[in-house]
């Protein structure tokens, strides 16, 4: 019980530090740009954490979560463009309902096949959505994307929007974390490790997979829709396979087996891109090399390795006190 | 008394190879029985047909008067058949406690719950601790399952199966790969569990001490067919069995 209380206390402290650090960004920043960077970290962090519920937790490597990320953004973009900025918030909600429906239907299809076939099918659907958005110029704006997406008046101040975003992202991550440590979360981890045994507990593997697929897609869509208000513009790239790929890289970088791993991975990746991008135009090459090196040296990911070091230290000190 | 499990002329072939040939037998409720036979005799294949992992080509399998043929493993489990596997089928990266707890949550229909933390599900937790106590694994409950000794992993597999309170429990070589001391301990434990949980127990085993020590009925399979069935004494004195399988062991 004491252990329990102590770990609850530690978790609460970590949450407080995380929220406080992000909450202080507008106060301490020296330029607007830093706040914009923090927005990107929060949104990609949410996207990566939601993606990791699929891959790290359940073992379903989707290469097409960009589909839902893009859909979230385009629901907001298109509705604001055609109906006005009053539709910004309703568009987020409508987009989530639409994504729930679509991910349910697509999920029924893609979950029937496992392993690499699941990965390929999700990639195919993601690319299909990208093609449609790219080609359907009259409706989606094609390669031009959508510019000038205005949030409603009370959210137009970037600092207000930043806090709006911060609150939604933190609530979402908290909700996902609760799910990860609920009976459902344990069920998902068990499905990854031994689906046959799960079936022989009388439980349905595919139904649980479908459920987490929908949940993960919903939060990906929320991340996408929030992005529409950050730069006031969106682009077809949000549907492109590199977006799905980036979120996979972030998860690997941060650590698949840690809940906050993908969030840290997203932060590190975005900051690296920013620093190196300002320094050389060959930033992609250098980031690729850095990621390769980190994966080779820290196969458990940044958070995974840190946790490993922490357990080693506590083991050592326990051994010494004996 | 009606049999709890009844196989009637069950046949199964893989291509030209007959792995189960016209097997019929009846298991009475509360019985503890063994299936023995040389490697490749079709023992595990027979289990796979009972639990729905394989479908027989012909014949009938009745469990408490329900025809099991065509039912999925999920359905068969909910009918009341439990099984532990030849290679311990556990969740290696979870703690021992959580391995049993996921089974408890399944039994209580709570695996769907996604809001409250697992630790707050008191009934499942209490149930899991009780099972671990019965298995003698209570002290290891916070270790990860893959860290357990081989024998303890097999016990954990049995524990997961026991949670669902099966009427019939199938154990596939429960002592395979164990040291003599572990075998002794497992033998005692299985007998204890059989009584405590009022199980009907069918086990596949190569360890003759276990077979002749605790089974009330022994069935011998050879090349997919049932060669003999009887009490341990009858089997021990069956000339066919001795020449086909037991040989110089006895």
Question: pLDDT exceeding 70 applies to what percent of chain A?
Answer: 98
- Residue whose C-alpha is closest to residue A254's, from A241, A240, A270: A270
What was the pLDDT predicted at A5?
A: 58
In terms of pLDDT, which residue wins out, B201 or A2?
B201
- Cβ–Cβ contacts within 10 Å for residue A17, how many? 10
What was the pLDDT predicted at A190?
A: 97
- The pLDDT tens digits of the residues spanning A40-56 come to 999 999 999 999 999 99
Q: What angle do CA A90, B112, A169 make, to 5 degrees?
A: 35
What was the pLDDT predicted at B157?
A: 95
Q: Please report which residue ranges of A24-111 form alpha helices under DSSP H.
A: 25-28, 32-52, 66-83, 88-110
Query: How much is the average pLDDT of A237-251?
Result: 94
Tokens of A172: 């979402």
Rounded CA separation B244/A287 (Å): 67
Question: pLDDT exceeding 70 applies to what percent of chain B?
Answer: 98
Do residues B190 and B203 touch, judged by C-beta distance below 8 A? yes
Q: Is A247 helix (H, G, I), strand (E, B) or coil?
A: helix
Rounded CA separation B192/B137 (Å): 15
Do residues A312 and A269 touch, judged by C-beta distance below 8 A? no
Q: Which of B77, B93, B114 lies nearest to residue A193, judging by beta carbons?
A: B93
φ, ψ (nearest 5 deg) of residue B25: -165, 165
Q: How confident is the model at residue B191 (pLDDT cuts 50, 70, 90)?
A: very high
Rounded CA separation B220/B249 (Å): 15
Q: Please report which residue ranges of A255-300 form alpha helices under DSSP H.
A: 261-279, 283-297
Question: pLDDT exceeding 90 applies to what percent of chain A?
Answer: 74
Tokens of A155: 């959210």
Q: How confident is the model at residue B29 (pLDDT cuts 50, 70, 90)?
A: very high
State chain B's mean pLDDT as an integer: 92
- Cβ–Cβ contacts within 10 Å for residue A149, how many? 24
- The pLDDT tens digits of the residues spanning A163-217 come to 999 999 999 999 999 999 999 999 999 999 999 999 999 999 999 999 999 999 9
What was the pLDDT predicted at A291?
A: 86
User: Would you say residue A84 has pLDDT above 70?
Assistant: yes
- Residue whose C-alpha is closest to residue B82's, from B162, B9, B138, B178: B162
A201 DSSP 8-state letter:
T
Q: Which of A56, A178, A193, A197 to mutate to test the interface with B (most CBs of B within 10 A)?
A: A197
φ, ψ (nearest 5 deg) of residue B158: -60, -40
Query: How does strand B81-84 pair with strand B5-14?
Result: unpaired
Q: How confident is the model at residue B172 (pLDDT cuts 50, 70, 90)?
A: very high
- The pLDDT tens digits of the residues spanning B98-151 come to 999 999 999 999 999 999 999 999 999 999 999 999 999 999 999 999 999 988
CATH 3.10.450.200 fits B1-80+166-250, yes or no: no
Rounded CA separation B125/B102 (Å): 10
Would you list the domain boundaries of chain B?
1-80+166-250, 89-164
In terms of pLDDT, which residue wins out, A281 or A250?
A250
**Exposed/middle/buried for residue A251 (C-beta within 10 Å: 0-12, 13-18, 19+):** buried
Rounded CA separation A297/A4 (Å): 33
C-beta atoms of A202 and B160 within 8 A: no
Do residues B103 and B164 touch, judged by C-beta distance below 8 A? yes
Do residues A47 and A246 touch, judged by C-beta distance below 8 A? no
Nearest chain A CA: its distance from B113 CA (Å): 6
B67 DSSP 8-state letter:
E
> Any residues with CB less than 8 A from the CB of A148 and at least 6 apart, and which?
A81, A232, A233
What was the pLDDT predicted at B249?
A: 52
Per-residue burial over A104-114, b if 16 or more Cβ lie within 10 Å, else e, is eebbeebbeee
The CATH number for A33-321, chosen from 1.10.287, 1.10.10, 1.10.520, 1.10.3470, is: 1.10.3470
Nearest CA in chain A to B48: A200
> Does any CB of chain B come closer than 8 Å to the CB of residue A190?
yes
- The pLDDT tens digits of the residues spanning A60-73 come to 999 999 999 999 99
Question: pTM, whole model, 2 decimals?
Answer: 0.92
Nearest CA in chain A to B116: A182
- The pLDDT tens digits of the residues spanning A20-45 come to 999 999 999 888 899 999 999 999 99
Query: How much is the average pLDDT of A134-156?
Result: 90
Query: How much is the average pLDDT of A301-314?
Result: 89
Complex confidence, ipTM:
0.91
Nearest chain B CA: its distance from A143 CA (Å): 40
Nearest CA in chain B to A196: B89
Please report the DSSP string for A133-180 in residue order.
Answer: HHH-HHHH-GGG-B---PPPGGG-SHHHHHHHHHHHHHHHHHHHHHHH
């407080």: which residue's tokens?
A16
Would you list the domain boundaries of chain A?
33-321
Q: How far is CA A244 from CA A60, A110, A111, A231, B119, in A?
A: 13, 16, 18, 20, 34
What was the pLDDT predicted at A3?
A: 44
- Residue whose C-alpha is closest to residue A88's, from A23, A19, A146: A146
Do residues B132 and B97 touch, judged by C-beta distance below 8 A? yes
* DSSP element (H, E) containing B220: strand B217-222
- Cβ–Cβ contacts within 10 Å for residue A283, how many? 16
Rounded CA separation B47/B68 (Å): 12
Residues 204-243 in A contacting B (C-alpha not used; CB under 8 Å): 204, 208
In terms of pLDDT, which residue wins out, A269 or B65?
A269
Q: How far is CA A123 from CA A59, A145, A265, in A?
A: 16, 21, 22
> Any residues with CB less than 8 A from the CB of A278 and at least 6 apart, and which?
none
Q: How far is CA A277 from CA A40, A235, A262, in A?
A: 15, 20, 21
B119 interaction partners in chain A (CB closer than 8 Å):
4
Nearest CA in chain B to A203: B74
């Amino acid at each position: 019980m004491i252990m329990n209380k102590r770990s609850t206390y530690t978790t609460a402290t970590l949450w407080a530090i995380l929220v406080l650090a992000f909450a202080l960004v507008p106060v301490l920043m020296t330029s607007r740009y830093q706040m914009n960077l923090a927005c990107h970290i929060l949104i990609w962090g949410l996207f990566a954490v939601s993606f990791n519920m699929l891959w790290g937790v359940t073992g379903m490597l989707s290469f097409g979560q960009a589909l839902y990320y893009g859909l979230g953004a385009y629901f907001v973009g298109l509705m604001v463009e055609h109906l006005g900025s009053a539709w910004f918030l309703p568009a987020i909600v409508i987009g989530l309902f639409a994504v729930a429906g679509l991910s349910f239907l697509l999920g029924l299809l893609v979950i029937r096949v496992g392993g690499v076939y699941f990965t390929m099918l999700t990639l195919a659907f993601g690319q299909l959505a990208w093609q449609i958005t790219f080609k359907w110029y009259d409706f989606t704006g094609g390669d031009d994307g959508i510019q000038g997406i205005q949030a409603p008046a009370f959210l137009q101040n970037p600092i207000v929007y930043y806090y709006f975003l911060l609150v939604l992202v933190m609530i979402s991550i908290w909700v996902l974390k609760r799910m990860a440590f609920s009976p459902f979360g344990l069920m998902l981890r068990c499905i990854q490790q031994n689906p046959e045994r799960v079936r022989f507990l009388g439980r349905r593997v595919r139904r649980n997979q479908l459920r987490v697929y929908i949940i993960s897609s919903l939060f990906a869509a929320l991340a996408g829709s929030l992005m529409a208000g950050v730069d006031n513009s969106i682009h077809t790239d949000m549907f492109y396979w590199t977006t799905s790929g980036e979120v996979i890289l972030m998860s690997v970088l941060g650590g698949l087996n840690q809940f906050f791993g993908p969030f840290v991975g997203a932060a590190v990746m975005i900051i690296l891109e920013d620093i190196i991008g300002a320094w050389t135009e060959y930033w992609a090459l250098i980031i690729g090399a850095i990621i390769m090196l980190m994966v080779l040296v820290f196969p458990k990911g940044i958070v995974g390795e840190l946790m490993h070091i922490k357990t080693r230290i506590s083991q050592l000190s326990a051994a010494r006190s004996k | 008394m009606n049999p709890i499990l009844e196989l009637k002329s069950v046949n199964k072939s893989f291509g030209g190879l007959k792995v189960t040939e016209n097997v019929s037998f009846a298991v009475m409720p509360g019985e503890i029985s063994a299936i023995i036979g040389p490697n490749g005799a079709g023992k595990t294949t027979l289990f796979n047909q009972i639990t729905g992992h394989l479908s027989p080509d012909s014949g009938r399998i009745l469990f408490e008067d329900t025809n099991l043929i065509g039912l999925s493993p999920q359905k068969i489990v909910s009918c009341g058949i439990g099984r532990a596997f030849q290679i311990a089928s556990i969740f290696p990266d979870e703690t021992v406690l959580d391995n049993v707890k996921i089974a408890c949550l399944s039994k209580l229909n709570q695996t769907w719950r996604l809001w409250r933390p697992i630790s707050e599900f008191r009934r499942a937790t209490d149930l899991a601790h009780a099972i671990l106590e019965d298995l003698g694994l209570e002290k290891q409950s916070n270790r990860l399952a893959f860290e357990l000794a081989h024998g303890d992993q097999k016990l954990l597999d049995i524990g997961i199966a026991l949670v669902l309170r099966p009427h019939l429990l199938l154990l596939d070589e429960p002592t395979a790969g164990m040291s003599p001391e572990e075998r002794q301990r497992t033998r005692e434990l299985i007998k204890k569990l059989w009584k405590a949980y009022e199980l009907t127990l069918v086990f596949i085993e190569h360890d003759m001490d276990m077979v002749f020590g605790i089974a009330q009925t022994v069935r011998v399979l050879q090349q997919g067919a049932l060669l003999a069935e009887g009490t341990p004494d009858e089997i021990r004195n069956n000339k066919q069995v001795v020449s086909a399988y037991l040989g110089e062991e006895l």
